[in-house]
Amino acid sequence: MKRKIKVAVVGIGLMGSQHLIAIKNSKKADLHSIVDINERSRAHAKKFKVPFYKNSSALIKNNKPDAVIVATPNQFHEKHTISFFKC
């Protein structure tokens, strides 16, 4: 059996929370980690037993995921997406 894709989610608001549930229910993906500037999202990381990072640089420096879902507000999409492509 192929290994599952490890997916990090950046921004755990309305949409990011939905992505967490979708990944949990997926047969093809595992949640790798959670990134959010807001400390309140640490509770999601605890619930799903994955690392929590407060910025995307910290995620890149550590164990890299296979894929990243960027669910931050629109103005951060470009910056985050380019930084992940470069790493």
Count of residues touching ligand NAD (by CB under 6 A): 17
SS (H, E, C) 43-73: HHHHHHCCCEECCHHHHHHCCCCCEEEECCC
Which of 9, 10, 45, 69 forms a contact with ligand NAD (CB under 6 A)?
10
The Cα 76–Cα 70 span in angstroms is 9
Stretch that binds ligand NAD, among 26-34, 43-51, 59-67, 69-77 (CB under 6 A): 69-77
Which of 6, 9, 16, 29 forms a contact with ligand NAD (CB under 6 A)?
16
Which of 1, 2, 3, 14 forms a contact with ligand NAD (CB under 6 A)?
14
